[in-house]
């Protein structure tokens, strides 16, 4: 009995020992499992709490592991796409892509490319369609001071004095705007002057002594006519008692220059004398409504943007034979807008119908105007020189001297020639034809100041002088022969764009000065933000993966130890059992 009890006690002890070891190992293994499950249970309890807090307004707050305030903020974060790991990675990649693209193709590039299309409703189009009233027309007329002495032979040359300026606002209107299929835009440009009494000190009723344009102009036009035509014209002039000098008020000289001989000549030969009003400004603005076609759209690029493609439906200069004159109006500009991204090597072609020729402007120097970096382009000093190799579109027969350009094709073949004011470049010399001229480069040259990125002119000064060219009149006899081979200055005009409106100036300042560095700063911050979002979430995902793997490895290790200990105990207990 004692032996039996001992065996029973031994078996009971083994069983208890095995159970104890099993419980110990099971507890160790379950600890790892509980560690993982506790994370899941806690997350689930927090989510349940959030739902309960939203439903019962935090009545169960004491049962939750977080407060209702934390629950509310976490609910907003959980529902926000910005707090989602995958979404933050996507946002990071997008921000990095946008920033890199912005460095390659900057915001300024986008704005300039959009300007090429000249879309209605956008600022560039609206500014051009309704141009600001910034252009001032200043007119200077020449008064003859010694006409009696000259006609009496006491003075060899006519002496003139300059009177002016007479100031006008030149109004520009754009209408009938039409976009064409070939990526061009056609519009009607109309210019007309508006007298500005507040800016004028010249009395328009003051009297001038001027050459009789009708008498001398028609005589010069007929210088090579046959004897019968010359005789008939002299009889006509005598019947009207026309004098070679006449008195006109300033207003009449500019707007209402009429002579009785003009009316008769127009009735007898309308082809020779198409008008009976020879007022200087009246003739210039009588036909200043033009149809212009310019290049717009991305296909032309920045270099050809807004260059003239057609003027009154033709690519060549109006009035010139395209087979004789190689110059083309295509590629020039009216001066309202130039092409974008100008360089110092660009030659800008300026077209002004009053000059009746293309005017090339060359880079002079860099300036800063209204805090904006700009380029200044000057009109060539030799713009009126004779062309020695090739066809000279602006010469006549007999030929013109250096410094003069034929303008007759824009004035009904009337013998008008164009030059610099006061012949300031020395061609012809200032006292060659008349005395009293005072050339000054700072007062008489022409230039433009352009913002190079947008091609917007900040300043623009065009100064030209109109002269009457008189041919050899010896066949007419006295007193006409005293005017043979003279070039008489009539007036000169200055077209001055005096700045820009503040809203245009500020916009150009933002685009040219502020936007480039600002865009680089914003793009750099965007790149850093995108990189941060991407790196942060990659790091969090990597850290979370390592934590879960550690927990799972710990659980697997303890489970193996518990199973191994259980096997050893069972083996020992089995060996102790008597066979």
Among 138, 160, 249, 169, smallest CA distance to 204 is for: 249
Among 129, 121, 117, 211, smallest CA distance to 177 is for: 129
How many Cβ atoms are within 10 Å of 281's Cβ, its own excluded? 21
Q: Do 19 and 159 reside in the same domain of the chain?
A: no
Model pLDDT, residue 54: 46
Model pLDDT, residue 60: 43
Mean pLDDT of 219-245: 88
Query: 517 lies in a domain?
Result: no
Model pLDDT, residue 20: 46
Query: 63 lies in a domain?
Result: no
Model pLDDT, residue 194: 95
Model pLDDT, residue 78: 53
Q: Do 466 and 528 reside in the same domain of the chain?
A: no
Tell me the per-residue pLDDT of 36-63, one tens digit each, with 9 for 90 and over.
455 445 444 544 544 454 444 444 444 4
Looking at residue 119, the DSSP 8-state letter turns out to be -
Asked if residue 4 has pLDDT above 70, the reply is: no
Q: Do 252 and 388 reside in the same domain of the chain?
A: yes
Asked if residue 554 has pLDDT above 80, the reply is: no
Q: Do 398 and 349 reside in the same domain of the chain?
A: yes
Asked if residue 262 has pLDDT above 90, the reply is: no
Q: Do 170 and 248 reside in the same domain of the chain?
A: yes
Residue 279 pLDDT class (50, 70, 90 cuts): very high
Query: 302 lies in a domain?
Result: yes
Mean pLDDT of 389-401: 83
Asked if residue 251 has pLDDT above 50, the reply is: yes
Q: What are phi and psi of 344, to 5 degrees?
A: -70, -15
Q: Do 491 and 528 reside in the same domain of the chain?
A: no
Mean pLDDT of 176-193: 94
Model pLDDT, residue 494: 96
Structure token digits, residue 376: 């200044």
Q: Do 567 and 477 reside in the same domain of the chain?
A: no
Query: 56 lies in a domain?
Result: no
Q: Do 403 and 456 reside in the same domain of the chain?
A: yes
Query: 121 lies in a domain?
Result: no
Query: 107 lies in a domain?
Result: no
Structure token digits, residue 498: 């005096």
Query: 67 lies in a domain?
Result: no
Mean pLDDT of 504-517: 91
Q: Do 364 and 453 reside in the same domain of the chain?
A: yes
Q: Do 206 and 331 reside in the same domain of the chain?
A: yes
pTM equals 0.77
Tell me the per-residue pLDDT of 86-143, one tens digit each, with 9 for 90 and over.
777 777 788 788 878 777 788 888 899 999 999 999 989 999 998 888 899 999 999 9
Structure token digits, residue 87: 């979404």
Contacts of 108 (CB under 8 A, 6+ apart): 453, 511, 515, 516, 519
Q: What are phi and psi of 135, to 5 degrees?
A: -95, 125
Among 500, 531, 564, the domain-final residue is 500
SS3 47: helix
Greatest Cα pair distance in the chain: 176
Domain of residue 313: give its range.
133-500
Asked if residue 314 has pLDDT above 60, the reply is: yes
Model pLDDT, residue 410: 82
Lowest mean pLDDT among 127-136, 282-291, 548-557: 548-557
Residue 576 pLDDT class (50, 70, 90 cuts): low
Query: 72 lies in a domain?
Result: no
Model pLDDT, residue 107: 87
Give me the number of domains the chain comprises: 2
Asked if residue 220 has pLDDT above 70, the reply is: yes
Asked if residue 67 has pLDDT above 70, the reply is: no
Tell me the per-residue pLDDT of 350-360, one tens digit each, with 9 for 90 and over.
988 888 888 99
% of the chain surpassing 90 pLDDT: 43
Q: Do 481 and 532 reside in the same domain of the chain?
A: no
Model pLDDT, residue 76: 53
Mean pLDDT of 360-366: 95
Q: What are phi and psi of 291, to 5 degrees?
A: -95, 125
Model pLDDT, residue 50: 45
By CB atoms closer than 10 A (0-12, 13-18, 19+), residue 410 is buried
Mean pLDDT of 434-443: 94
Q: Do 554 and 486 reside in the same domain of the chain?
A: no
* Cis preceding linkage at 398, omega within 30: yes
Mean pLDDT estimate for the chain = 82
Tell me the per-residue pLDDT of 459-480, one tens digit each, with 9 for 90 and over.
999 999 999 999 999 998 889 9
Among 451, 485, 500, the domain-final residue is 500
């Amino acid at each position: 009995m004692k032996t039996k009890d001992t065996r029973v006690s031994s078996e009971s002890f083994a069983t208890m020992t095995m159970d104890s070891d099993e419980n110990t190992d099971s507890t160790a293994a379950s600890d790892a499992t509980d560690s993982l499950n506790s994370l899941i249970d806690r997350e689930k309890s927090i989510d349940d709490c959030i739902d309960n807090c939203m439903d019962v307004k935090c009545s169960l707050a004491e049962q939750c592991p977080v407060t209702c305030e934390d629950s509310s903020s976490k609910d907003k974060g959980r529902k926000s796409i910005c707090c989602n790991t995958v979404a933050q990675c996507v946002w990071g990649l997008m921000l990095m892509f946008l920033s890199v693209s912005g460095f390659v193709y900057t915001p300024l590039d986008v704005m300039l490319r959009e300007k090429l299309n000249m879309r209605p409703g956008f600022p560039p189009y609206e500014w051009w369609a309704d141009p600001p009233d910034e252009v001032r027309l200043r007119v200077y007329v020449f008064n003859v001071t010694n006409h009696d002495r000259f006609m009496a032979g006491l003075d060899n040359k006519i002496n003139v004095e300059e009177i002016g300026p007479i100031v006008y606002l030149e109004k520009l209107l754009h209408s009938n705007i039409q976009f064409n299929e070939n990526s061009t835009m056609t519009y009607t440009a109309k210019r007309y002057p508006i007298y500005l009494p507040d800016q004028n000190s010249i009395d328009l009723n003051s009297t001038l002594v001027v050459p009789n344009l009708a008498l001398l102009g028609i005589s010069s036009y007929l210088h090579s006519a046959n004897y019968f035509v010359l005789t008939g014209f002299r009889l006509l002039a005598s019947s009207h008692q026309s004098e070679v000098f006449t008195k006109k008020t300033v207003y009449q000289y500019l707007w209402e220059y009429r002579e009785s001989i003009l009316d008769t000549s127009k009735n007898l030969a309308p082809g020779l004398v198409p008008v009976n009003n020879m007022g200087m400004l009246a003739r210039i603005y009588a036909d200043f409504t033009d149809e212009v076609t310019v290049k717009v759209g991305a296909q032309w690029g920045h270099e050809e943007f807004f260059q003239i493609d057609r003027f009154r439906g033709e690519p060549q200069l109006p009035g010139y034979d395209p087979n004789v004159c190689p110059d083309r109006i295509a590629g020039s500009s009216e001066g309202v807008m130039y092409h974008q991204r100008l360089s110092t090597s660009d030659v800008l072609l300026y077209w002004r119908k009053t000059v009746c020729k293309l005017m090339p402007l060359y880079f002079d120097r860099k300036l800063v105007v209204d805090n904006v970096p700009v380029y200044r382009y000057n009109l060539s000093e030799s713009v009126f020189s004779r062309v020695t190799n090739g066809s000279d579109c602006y010469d006549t027969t007999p030929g013109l001297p250096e410094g003069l350009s034929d303008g007759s094709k824009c004035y009904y073949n009337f013998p008008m020639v164009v030059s610099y004011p006061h012949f300031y470049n020395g061609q012809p010399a200032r006292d060659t034809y008349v005395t009293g001229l005072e050339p000054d480069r700072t007062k008489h040259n022409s230039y433009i100041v352009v913002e190079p990125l947008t091609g917007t002119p900040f300043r623009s000064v065009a100064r030209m002088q109109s002269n009457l060219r008189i041919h050899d009149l010896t066949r007419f006899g006295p007193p006409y022969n005293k005017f043979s081979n003279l070039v008489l200055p009539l007036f000169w005009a200055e077209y001055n764009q005096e700045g820009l409106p503040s809203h245009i100036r500020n916009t150009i300042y933002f685009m040219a000065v502020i936007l480039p560095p600002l865009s680089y700063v914003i793009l750099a911050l965007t790149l850093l933000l995108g990189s941060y979002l991407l790196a942060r979430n990659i790091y969090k995902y990597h850290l979370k993966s390592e934590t879960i793997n550690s927990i799972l490895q710990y659980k697997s290790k303890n489970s193996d130890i518990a199973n191994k200990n259980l096997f050893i105990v069972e083996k020992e207990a089995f060996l102790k059992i008597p066979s």
